[in-house]
């Protein structure tokens, strides 16, 4: 009997209550999420500023699941060591922001940490194809990077399907993650298109329901007819 596929959730803390971040993360962990997604924005690669390694380091002792750092910064090489020293378990690199991504991947591997690669909605998959064999995760951006709470871009499903085909062909162990606008309506279509892991920001941290209720509903949404 094939094991049924189960979606893995990666809450983004961008829309969480920053005055109580440790508690917000613990609520998500208690609700059964797979990892925590840290959106690192420098106000240059994207038109927004979020937080740095200090916040990652302060969360580390409160978080029993992996921390993944999504680097939306212009100079990833300069900040690899501070994020890895802060306790991040994986680093996700934007192909558009790395001048020599192969050497950046090698630098993360040297620290025996996981590495992911991502691309903006307008960047074709062919740009990252040469690196799929050497990463643990491919992240498809389903919004323009820079803000939480945006709508899922319609063309993303086709890109997810093509990414799934690419991974199956080149590196079947590579995880396929989707980031942006994932909610009760968009998680299942993205899951059916072949994604494994789902970044969920505003769908988890909102005033409509508790973190536990939102996580349970999202996990249940893949079974909806
Ligand atoms: C956007 C970030 C996303 C975002 C997700 O640049 O990479 O992780 O915070 O938030 P939602 O799920 O609300 O779209
Ligand atoms: Zn992100």
SS3 content of the chain, % helix, strand, coil (to 5): 40, 20, 40
Tell me which residue has its CA closest to atom 9 in ligand 1. 148
Cα distance between residue 13 and residue 204, in whole Å:
9
Q: Does residue 156 have its Cβ closer than 6 Å to ligand 1?
A: no
Whether 113 and 154 have beta carbons less than 8 Å apart is answered as: no
CA atoms within 13 A on the CB side of 192: 10
Cα distance between residue 220 and residue 183, in whole Å:
12
CA–centroid distance, 148 to ligand 2, in Å, is 8
Q: pTM higher than 0.85, yes or no? A: yes
Tens digits of residue pLDDT in 27-70: 999 999 999 999 999 999 999 999 999 999 999 999 999 999 99
pLDDT at 2 over 90: no
Q: What is the pLDDT of residue 124?
A: 98
Q: Is 160 helix (H, G, I), strand (E, B) or coil?
A: helix
Q: Does residue 11 have its Cβ closer than 6 Å to ligand 1?
A: no
Confidence of residue 223 (pLDDT cuts 50, 70, 90): confident
Q: Does residue 14 have its Cβ closer than 6 Å to ligand 1?
A: yes
Tens digits of residue pLDDT in 165-174: 999 999 999 9
Mean pLDDT over 173-185 rounds to: 98
Q: What is the pLDDT of residue 138?
A: 98
Q: What is the pLDDT of residue 5?
A: 87
Mean pLDDT over 8-14 rounds to: 98
Confidence of residue 17 (pLDDT cuts 50, 70, 90): very high
pLDDT at 3 over 70: no
pLDDT at 4 over 80: no
Of all residues in the chain, the percent with pLDDT exceeding 70 is: 98
- Show which residues are catalytic: 39, 179
Least Cα distance to 123 among 136, 105, 141 occurs for 141
Cα distance between residue 120 and residue 221, in whole Å:
26
pLDDT at 23 over 70: yes
């Amino acid at each position: 009997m094939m094991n049924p596929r189960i979606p893995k959730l990666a809450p983004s803390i961008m829309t969480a209550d920053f005055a109580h971040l440790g508690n917000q993360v613990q609520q998500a962990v208690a609700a059964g999420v797979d990892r925590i997604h840290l959106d690192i924005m420098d106000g240059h690669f994207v038109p927004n500023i979020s937080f740095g390694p200090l916040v990652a380091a302060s969360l580390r002792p409160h978080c029993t699941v992996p921390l993944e750092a999504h680097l939306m910064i212009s100079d990833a090489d300069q900040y690899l060591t501070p994020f890895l020293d802060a306790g991040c378990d994986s680093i996700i690199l934007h192909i558009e922001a790395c001048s020599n991504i192969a050497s950046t991947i090698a630098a993360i591997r040297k620290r025996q940490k996981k590495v992911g690669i991502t691309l903006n909605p307008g960047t074709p998959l062919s740009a990252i194809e040469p690196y799929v064999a050497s990463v643990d995760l491919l992240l498809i951006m389903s919004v323009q990077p820079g803000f939480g709470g945006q709508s899922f871009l319609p063309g993303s499903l086709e890109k997810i399907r093509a990414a799934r085909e690419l991974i199956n062909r080149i590196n079947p162990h590579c995880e396929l993650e989707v980031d942006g606008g994932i909610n009760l309506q968009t998680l299942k279509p993205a899951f059916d298109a072949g994604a494994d892991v789902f970044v969920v920001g505003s769908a988890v941290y909102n005033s409509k329901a508790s973190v536990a209720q939102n996580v349970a509903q999202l996990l249940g949404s893949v079974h909806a007819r």
